[in-house]
Structure 1
Amino acid sequence: MDGFSIYALFGLDEAPREVLGVGKSGRGSVAVPASVQQVVLFTRGRWGSCTCVTAELRDAEKNPLLSAKLTPLNKSLCWEYWEDGVWSSGATVTVKVGQGGMSKDGVSDAELTVSRKEVTPQGSVGPRVAREAHGKRKRKQEVQEDDGPGQENLCPNGAASENTPHRRGSKTLRGSLFPQGDENSGPGASARTPQTQKPKGRQGKTPTQTAPLDSPSGRWGHTLCPIDPQTAILIGGQGSRMHFCKDPMWKLCTEDLSWVPAETLAEGPTPEARIGHTATYDPESRRIFVFGGSKNKKWFNDMHILDTQSWRWSMVEAQGKVPPLAYHSCSLFRGELFVFGGVFPCPNPEPDGCSDSIYIFSPEMAIWYQPIVTGERPAPRSGHSACVIQGKIFIFGGWDTPVCFNDMNMLDLGLMEFSTVKTYGTPPSPRSWHGCALLSDSRFLVHGGYNGNNALNDTFIFNTDTSSWTTVVHSRLSSVPRAGHSIITMSTSSLEGPVAEQDQDSECTPQTLLIFGGGDNEGSFFSDLITMPLEELRD
């Protein structure tokens, strides 16, 4: 620790301030000027072999706002805050030097436990979480960040076996998921990320980009919703610098794979920018239902409807109650929307971090209600996937800090009964924020995701008739690890030509797989569009 010190920088016009001096150990703090918008912490000098630094930002009332860790591999951090443009007066930064159990390469023991013990369980059902009375699992209250998706939007820590290894301190994980750096610079380009700008003003259209774009900027946490064989609608997302995208809505024309900015095409009150929402298309009414999501400290339980015939937005003044949720699933069945799971805001009014409840929205009645459900409910979770097949919702994966899942659960929509699905074959490892797409009336695909430590690039197909998993190896799908992306299938003959003409049976009605966006856990956000005939998956 000789010669080791920690500094804080509050702007380019002033010198760094020493938080903890050379040769000192223990704790140090420094006041944050009320006029700054950014705090940078960095270290100087030689790190000890077993040293870590915990940094915490508190407001004037000593309430924790942000926290993170510095290690020999992560020697600096950047916090941005946009509460009315600056931090409130009286905020302080405190650092504490302690023993972090570092290995020779500077990686903490906890991180090594997660990354090196990531093993696909041999059992047919994924690891379960210990549940308390009434099917609830309590959690410790955590601090919500003021930027980006917030504390509850963080990826979970990985789970690999019955004794799930995990890391404490999700701020370190957040720094790993979205490091800091430069802006996005075009299709396929990536960006490093400090933090997010808080939304200004009331609900309304997000300001458009200064320079016109010919394709969406890189992002994750968005939705891509097909509305006809030639068109899909992209809504929301977050990308470079953890900023919510200023180009939040696009129309994808699959005939020539061209993008058209769509925010100004629709009239009415545009939904506020967000991530972790759902967008569900009803082919009978030809409307898109956008529900929930979050933005900074703001969490949503509003329901917005886009009529794709009149191209007009409306917001429903629904009866009944539904909590604010993000990273839930929303499934359409017989004209109603079935919302399952999701993460609550933090500080959290509910006893659990995530939900295990079903909420149903009836567009005809404009009402939310909760059905009577029997059977064994899945553990509370968010970031999972859900597919409706033959009157059943198949729910896979997800997370509830610090546990990641790879179990398969089913809700029979006729009986309203939950059950755990015993699967065969090698299942995907535990993950959340993965992509999922319906391939046929008995199969769906799972791709990528986040295991609490790394983004993934593997692909699996689940057959509901045989309850079996099949591993898919394809260079186009495994080229880049990604999470928080969108996957859809569309029966677009113009995209794949002869392949589409060959596939006439019902098993192959959606002929083309499309993947857009996501992040790689290394600070990169993608704006590429991958297309692939489903025939190649069968091969």
Structure 2
Amino acid sequence: MEELGVYAVFGLDEPPREILRSAEPGHTTIAIPAFVQQVVLFTKGVWGKHSSVTVELSDAKPNPIISGKLTPNNKSLCWEYWEDGIWSTGATLSVKFDSELKTTDDLLTDFTKKEFTPECAVVAPIMREAPGKRKRSAPEPDQDAADQENTCPNGQAADKTTPHRRGRNAPRGSQTRLFPQKDEQPATVQASVRTPPSNPRPRGRQAKTPTQSAPLDHPSGRWGQSLCPIDSQTAILIGGQGAKMQFCKDPMWKLCTEDLSWVPAETLAEGPTPEARIGHTATYDPESKRIFVFGGSKSKKWFNDMHILDTQSWRWTMVEAQGKVPPLAYHSCSLFRGELFVFGGVFPLPHPQPDGCSDSIYIFSPDMAIWYQPIVNGDKPAPRSGHSACVIQGKIFIFGGWDTPVCFNDMYMLDLGLMEFSAVKTSGTPPSPRSWHGCALLSDSRFLVHGGYNGNNALSDTFIFNTETSSWTTVTHPQLTSVPRAGHSIIAMTTTDSQGSIDEDQPQHLDESPKALLIFGGGDNEGSFFSDLMTLSVEELEG
């Protein structure tokens, strides 16, 4: 068997060079040649059972070290050129073999000693940009904006003109904002903004007695929550914001899909629960049977924390991961081969006022408890948030979203094998520009888009996209068109057969499994927040 080696490629014209072998454990540092625009590091050979490689890249100037890990599941790392188009003289690359790779349990033990919630002083990491990339200048401080909560569009004053997509290089003018500032809102909305209590609720596990006059048999009306299926009979609801801009005091529920019953679930799990928030993501990993809750925002707080709920032990843990990821809300999070791919989102710069959206990919490795950024090539989407993302056959399909004041209805695909973006040329009538829409995977070649917000109004139309034909199909159904909604949740669940049973031990192909759509919550942009749960069979919808 071939011995494991670490190789580096400097620039497009240079062949790979071997820099370290496993037979020579230790540490090596090499200089990066000047005038190089890209560095690629990869491994070749047989990995040991507990092998990993630590990589650090540093500049001669007093810049922070960029670090990463090579593992059997992540065998390559790339870095783009810096602002001036070349690596500065004196840049170095350090590589060493680790003697042992810690297990997931060891890492969680190390990093979950205490609950940690980023405060407003946390800022996005300073990162160098490629030449020609648009930079965002910090706006002048606005005290009114600083006092405003992060709000749902419900009840906001709406301009009657739907914004259209601007060109990638077009300037950001003084156009209609998707999130109007406080002085642009009606007096009724201004009065609904919550004043922080003088004795704020301590972080960590919340009180067991509900403090909100909501029905005890189902969640209160809300938008911006996450609804995450964990098996064919169960889904978990986390977070959300409801009437009068209040964050829900019943933030966690368990849904039984057999009889569509709700059970309050916040007190079912031990450990520090995530602080109330909206615009976060909750992603379930069926292999480890854990839910990963990342990011989101609450009033003046923006989060970049990672909470994990083990659905077998029903215990929350908080991972203080290595690497850096900025505070983000309304991003997407996709699971692929055990890692979480976070794209886009809006971030605060400066706090707490949002200042633009992200177009970056951040990857979280649960096994390593580390964040890192891959090098992504191709035609990248414009920065955005409030978009949707579906993983289909090793590709992430990204649709829609917004970057104030623009709504998008374009489609991009990220090939996770090549780490390359490409714009998808579609046929049929596409959905109109929108954000905060619902999206659900129907099969291994189709996903559904429903509702959303176009900058003026909530929407109620529905579309299905076929990745094999790159075509859109418009779907009409009375249940879906009855109520416009945005910020809602849509999930597709496996249903029972005619005998009322499912063989959980048999692998089920997506196209062979009967599906039901479940739609919960959202708002109508007229001041109403929903707590209803709609169910609809995929067969009926397509028929």
TM-score category (smaller protein): 0.5 to 0.7
Q: Is the 8 A contact 1:180 1:241 kept in 2?
A: no
Q: Is the 8 A contact 1:299 1:325 kept in 2?
A: yes
Shift in CA distance, 197/475, structure 1 to aligned 2, threshold 3 Å: farther
Separation of aligned partners in 2, 1:308 and 1:224: 14
Check if 1:448 corresponds to 2:433: no
2:516 maps to which of 509, 512, 521 = 512
Deviations 1:412-467 (A, max 9, x none): 00000011000111100000000000000000000000000000000000000000
Separation of aligned partners in 1, 2:152 and 2:216: 31
Q: Is the 8 A contact 1:394 1:408 kept in 2?
A: yes
Shift in CA distance, 426/170, structure 1 to aligned 2, threshold 3 Å: closer
Check if 1:159 corresponds to 2:163: yes
Which structure 2 residues correspond to residues 37-116 of structure 1 after superposition, within 5 A?
none
Shift in CA distance, 243/326, structure 1 to aligned 2, threshold 3 Å: same
RMSD of aligned alpha carbons: 3.4
Alignment partner, residue 205 of structure 1:
205
Separation of aligned partners in 2, 1:170 and 1:324: 20
Separation of aligned partners in 1, 2:176 and 2:296: 25
Check if 1:135 corresponds to 2:140: no
Q: Is the 8 A contact 1:180 1:523 kept in 2?
A: no
Separation of aligned partners in 2, 1:510 and 1:193: 47
Separation of aligned partners in 1, 2:354 and 2:233: 44
Separation of aligned partners in 2, 1:360 and 1:214: 38
Q: Is the 8 A contact 2:297 2:303 kept in 1?
A: yes
Shift in CA distance, 478/317, structure 1 to aligned 2, threshold 3 Å: same
Which structure 2 residues correspond to residues 519-534 of structure 1 after superposition, within 5 A?
519-534=523-538
Deviations 1:30-57 (A, max 9, x none): xxxxxxxxxxxxxxxxxxxxxxxxxxxx
Q: Is the 8 A contact 1:306 1:314 kept in 2?
A: yes
TM-score, length-scaled by structure 1: 0.67
Which structure 2 residues correspond to residues 329-408 of structure 1 after superposition, within 5 A?
329-347=332-350, 353-408=356-411
2:233 maps to which of 216, 230, 233 = 230
Could you tell which deviates more after superposition, 449-458 or 200-209? Answer: 200-209
Shift in CA distance, 264/230, structure 1 to aligned 2, threshold 3 Å: same
1:168 maps to which of 172, 176, 182 = 176
Pairwise CA distance, 1:161: 6.0
Instruction: Note the residue ranges of structure 1 that are not aligned, 5 or more in a row.
Output: 1-130, 182-191
Look up the equivalent residue of 1:205 and give its one-letter code.
R
Instruction: Note the residue ranges of structure 2 that are not aligned, 5 or more in a row.
Output: 1-128
Check if 1:416 corresponds to 2:424: no
% same residue: 72
Shift in CA distance, 447/175, structure 1 to aligned 2, threshold 3 Å: farther
Pairwise CA distance, 1:377: 1.1
Separation of aligned partners in 2, 1:382 and 1:220: 16
Separation of aligned partners in 2, 1:160 and 1:377: 19
Pairwise CA distance, 1:497: 6.9
Deviations 1:368-399 (A, max 9, x none): 00011111110000000000000000000000
Deviations 1:167-223 (A, max 9, x none): 435665879999848xxxxxxxxxx98123547244223444245611000000000
Shift in CA distance, 496/136, structure 1 to aligned 2, threshold 3 Å: farther
Separation of aligned partners in 1, 2:453 and 2:370: 34
Q: Is the 8 A contact 1:177 1:523 kept in 2?
A: no
Q: Is the 8 A contact 2:328 2:347 kept in 1?
A: yes
TM-score, length-scaled by structure 2: 0.67
Q: Is the 8 A contact 1:255 1:494 kept in 2?
A: no
Pairwise CA distance, 1:135: 3.4
Q: Is the 8 A contact 2:390 2:447 kept in 1?
A: yes
Look up the equivalent residue of 1:530 and give its one-letter code.
M
Check if 1:263 corresponds to 2:271: no
Separation of aligned partners in 2, 1:492 and 1:340: 31
Q: Is the 8 A contact 1:256 1:495 kept in 2?
A: no
Shift in CA distance, 254/176, structure 1 to aligned 2, threshold 3 Å: farther
Look up the equivalent residue of 1:168 and give its one-letter code.
T
Shift in CA distance, 171/299, structure 1 to aligned 2, threshold 3 Å: closer
Q: Is the 8 A contact 1:179 1:522 kept in 2?
A: no
Separation of aligned partners in 1, 2:346 and 2:186: 20
